[in-house]
Structure 1
Amino acid sequence: MNTISYHYDAQKITTGILHIGVGNFHRAHQQFYTNAVLEFEDQQQWGICGVCLLPSDEKTVHNLRAQNLEYSLTVCGRNGTDEVYTIGSLRELIWGVENPVAVIEKVADPSIKIITLTITEGGYNLDKETGEFILSDEKVQHDLKNPGSPSTVFGFVAEGLRRRKIKNHGGITILSCDNLQHNGNTAQRAFSAFIQAHDKDLAEWMKDHVTFPNSMVDRITPAVTAEDVIRLNQKSGMTDLAPVYCEDFAQWVIEDNFIAGRPAWEKVGVEFTEDVTAFENMKLSLLNASHTLLSYPSFLMGYRKVDLAMEDENMVEFIRNFMDIDITPLVPAPENTNLEEYKEILIERFSNHRVSDQVSRLCFDGISKFPVYIIPNLLKMIKENMDLTRPAFLVASYRHYLKYKTDDYGHSYEVAEPWLTTEDQKLIDDADSQAFLDLSCFKGADLKGSAKFVDLYTRFADHIKNIGTGPVLQSIIK
């Protein structure tokens, strides 16, 4: 194991980036790249001020503050060698529940040139059918009526931008780092809609003073359990209350549209481009979609770790067929990218025993993931009259996962779906399996309009219930 400490003087680092959502992925990805770029003396104005907005963030905030905001990042190599980095790029940490005014003032601070976001796919508060911002949301309405005491990310940013405008502190870039197609466009639509309802003058100011680049992010980063904390500290010899671990692959592609400047991230491996579309389409359609394809069937088959599911030959062939037969014809490779090599690396990454990602993490929040990772290509497959076997099996598995909450071996489990509505639950509970195709994540897709899809899906739903997920998967493969 190699231990790598930073060599810059942390006390000389100033903050130029405000990041909202200090979760494991952010600490393994954006902090990793920024920690590296701070080694260059002319880049030391780009430290990160982290912002946590949820009551559930209290433990993370407490643990990081207890160790001067530093933490260890274990990068698990596919070659069997791990590297442990000490990350020092997180220079400030504000908990909005404890000090909301500090968040607002930091957004307005002229030293902050970039706001980065990891607020999850569902965090942008967009209607899954229309794509429009949901102004009627209770928390959104609270923030519109009480701009000085916000509770949502939109309220905090809007009030901070309003004060930034009043003080003439200049423009700023809002950079989404969430797994969404055209995530910058999505962020712009959400924040612009809120701010238009909040302050029309501010909305006009935003047009000339705020940019929203699209970006593509990639690094498998599992959740960290209490057992993982012990294991990681034993391996590193450290006493870290908030360690993170991840795979050795990392990628970050960003459209170079920063109105107030940016770090020279290209010095440490970030790729800048005029258009991120081909990169994000490849990643969302192959990596994220394959993760979703693997998640519910493998969980129902009793697997709780991704690498163990990848020891199942049927599962590996299922994923390979999905990538090769279903997705490759629909996804043009970005320039200088070998798609066959990319797919092979994905299989290696999923199979990495040293990462051993949780299947439950992949199952989390399917309501937000299906419209982003699965539905766009499924609609193309329906239109092109392609084989719909694998996506139909996936949707049937998702229904069984949500409805019965018992796997093939009779083990019960809890479902984590934060954006599930009351209407969704009625559709899940309905005895008619076709009712499930009206779930909020499928709205606008009209899956019922494809007789071919409906026939496959209903047969798979019946078979999974009667004989189990594993035997049905085997019948697909064989």
Structure 2
Amino acid sequence: MQNPVYLNIENVESLKNRVSTPTFDRDKVMTSIAHIGVSNFHRAHQAYYMHELMEKHGGLNYGICGIDLLDADRKIYNVLKDQDGLYTLIVKDANESDHVKIIGSIVEYFFGPENPMAVIERLAHPDIEIISLTIAEDGYHLNEITGEFDQENPVVAEDVKNPFYPKTVFGYLFQAFKLRKSRGLTGCTILSCDNIKGNGDTVKESFFNYVNKIEPEFLSWLKENTTFPNSMVDRITPLTRSEDIDTLKNNFLIDDQWPVVCESFTNWIIEDNFFHERPQWEKGGVQFVEHIEFYDKMKLQLLNAGHTILGILGTLQGYKTVSEAANDEDFMYFLKTYMDEEVIPVLDKAEVHLVEKYKSTLITRFKNPFIYDSLSRICDESSTKVPIFILPTVKAQLSKDKVIDRVAFVIAAWCKYYDGVDDQGKAYKVSDSISNVLIRRATQSQQDPIKFLEIESVFGDLNTNPVFIEKYVRYLHHIRERTIKDCIKDFNVNLL
């Protein structure tokens, strides 16, 4: 039996008869995009789009320099360095087809903790025209209560003490742009690709506040030499499992230490606001718009909220994956009704045809049994997700005296989630930066249901709204007394 071939530039030629491999000459690729946060999602999404542009439409001027800044990223850094930036993308259709492709758009790689000055120098290089980010919500260092940049965060103070060994992404950007200015160079575009409403506006405000704290006189140059387009990114990308690595070895004879699995659906919408000439991503299906707000809101409150709801309800039931929960007809009926009656009414009515089309694709995507998207991943750091994905629906519906029954039920179920035991009597792990607070308040809610709503950093002043409180308390009582499955069944018939 033939042994698997280790994935790197030396061996990739021998794989072209098994899977799709890069046909462009990687030696001719010029790096003009620096991407901070080389996550699975980046590799399934932005790096994929860039690879496709190089393959089909030229675009060799837009190679990617991957950059990771956290100690926890050392493993992926080592893997991609060993593999010369190459990795395998496994696209899983709902019809059980696997489309396997070697992606070659990441042509450089730097690791901040190993050599911060090398990262700063690379970001300052005149060839870099776009700095893109997937750093997750906590990378923006936002205050839990105000949602604004937290200038008193200890890591910001560390950056002030050790400016050339920064702990924040803003510290790296600040030093890089200072070098650009001192060398008579211009700035560039900073493109956030995170699941945050108004992600470009968020990174802009946070970065400018950071600079204002450290060197306010630098702000005027920065404002004239940067742009921050908002974007909406969309592709379900679960964690890589050992089974995925084994499948590549056994079925395709590829030894890839960290492949990426994703669904076939992908979407990327960007505000056309770039400081330099941008890649012609529209040739690969990227949509450029003047304003992103509608698309952003639709995705966050339908897809991301839908994921979170299935994560909470499914975990309580004892399910392990999104597809298990989505293929439960009772759960899916609840979710579809939530979308129809409580989310879609707060979206732009002029775009109802786009909303309906997007909603119908979501149902199919959630049900895909070949995307092993664990509910534990979906529920991780829920305290940062619920305020972004679900609470805007609560607030919008309350402001119009509209229906909030299902969203109140979800918040009640989320409280029950922190009991840590499903309806089959099995314990599950709760992972959240404020898990101690969440678990303690959920325990206290057994005597006083409002205690859970008093977490100001999550709920704001929602605990003062009598309409919401009445429904939340009623549903929490039912959820604590009965199984989540029975509650959902009754709810779908008569709202409990």
TM-score (norm 1): 0.95
**1:137 positional shift:** 0.8
The 1:125/1:274 distance shift into structure 2, 3 A limit, reads same
Match of 1:415, as an amino acid? V
- String of CA shifts for 1:444-471, please: whole Å, max 9, x gaps: 3x22232221122122222222223222
Match of 1:237, as an amino acid? L
Q: How does 1:108-123 map to 2 (within 5 A)?
A: 108-123=124-139
Match of 1:322, as an amino acid? Y
**1:7 positional shift:** 1.1
Match of 1:344, as an amino acid? S
Most deviating of 425-434 and 291-300:
425-434
- String of CA shifts for 1:257-309, please: whole Å, max 9, x gaps: 11022111111111111111111111111111111121111111001111111
Match of 2:44, as an amino acid? A
Task: State the secondary structure of the residue aligned to 1:3.
Answer: coil
8 A Cα contact 2:308 2:378, kept in partner: yes
Residue 411 of structure 1: aligned partner: 426
- String of CA shifts for 1:225-269, please: whole Å, max 9, x gaps: 223321344343311111001000000000011102211111111
Residue 180 of structure 1: aligned partner: 196
| Residue 186 (structure 2) pairs with residue 209 (structure 1) | no
Task: State the secondary structure of the residue aligned to 2:19.
Answer: strand
| Residue 40 (structure 2) pairs with residue 24 (structure 1) | yes
**1:109 positional shift:** 0.9
| Residues matched between the structures, number | 475
Aligned-partner Cα distance in 2 for 1:58–1:442: 31
- 2:211 aligned residue (188, 195, 216): 195
Aligned-partner Cα distance in 1 for 2:107–2:311: 36
**1:325 positional shift:** 1.0
**1:442 positional shift:** 3.1
Match of 2:262, as an amino acid? C
Residue 265 of structure 2: aligned partner: 249
- String of CA shifts for 1:336-366, please: whole Å, max 9, x gaps: 9532222111000000112131111111111
Match of 1:397, as an amino acid? A
- String of CA shifts for 1:421-447, please: whole Å, max 9, x gaps: 765565344342211112244343x22
Residue 461 of structure 1: aligned partner: 476
Most deviating of 125-134 and 365-374:
125-134
- 2:123 aligned residue (95, 98, 107): 107
Q: Which runs of 5+ in 1 are unaligned?
A: none
**1:211 positional shift:** 0.5
Q: How does 1:289-300 map to 2 (within 5 A)?
A: 289-300=305-316
Task: State the secondary structure of the residue aligned to 1:324.
Answer: helix
8 A Cα contact 1:370 1:441, kept in partner: no
Most deviating of 122-131 and 97-106:
122-131
Task: State the secondary structure of the residue aligned to 1:338.
Answer: helix
8 A Cα contact 1:73 1:86, kept in partner: yes
The list of structure 1 runs, each at least 4 consecutive aligned residues, that deviate by more than 6 angstroms after superposition, is none
Aligned-partner Cα distance in 2 for 1:369–1:328: 19
Residue 340 of structure 1: aligned partner: 356
**1:220 positional shift:** 0.2
Residue 430 of structure 1: aligned partner: 444
| Residue 106 (structure 2) pairs with residue 84 (structure 1) | no
Most deviating of 454-463 and 19-28:
454-463
Aligned-partner Cα distance in 2 for 1:353–1:427: 35
Task: State the secondary structure of the residue aligned to 1:356.
Answer: coil
Residue 328 of structure 2: aligned partner: 312
- 1:451 aligned residue (453, 466, 478): 466
Most deviating of 182-191 and 126-135:
126-135
Task: State the secondary structure of the residue aligned to 1:18.
Answer: strand
| Residue 387 (structure 2) pairs with residue 371 (structure 1) | yes
Aligned-partner Cα distance in 2 for 1:360–1:252: 26
Task: State the secondary structure of the residue aligned to 1:406.
Answer: coil
The 1:440/1:226 distance shift into structure 2, 3 A limit, reads farther
Most deviating of 317-326 and 53-62:
53-62
Aligned-partner Cα distance in 1 for 2:311–2:162: 41
The 1:348/1:458 distance shift into structure 2, 3 A limit, reads same
Aligned-partner Cα distance in 1 for 2:435–2:87: 37
**1:38 positional shift:** 1.6
8 A Cα contact 1:279 1:334, kept in partner: no
Most deviating of 389-398 and 214-223:
389-398
Q: How does 1:59-78 map to 2 (within 5 A)?
A: 59-78=75-94
**1:387 positional shift:** 2.2
TM-score (norm 2): 0.92
Residue 148 of structure 2: aligned partner: 132
8 A Cα contact 2:139 2:168, kept in partner: no
Most deviating of 465-474 and 261-270:
465-474
Q: Which runs of 5+ in 2 are unaligned?
A: 1-16
Residue 8 of structure 2: aligned partner: none
Residue 284 of structure 1: aligned partner: 300
Residue 303 of structure 1: aligned partner: 319
Most deviating of 423-432 and 434-443:
423-432
**Same amino acid, percent of matched pairs:** 38
Match of 1:71, as an amino acid? Y
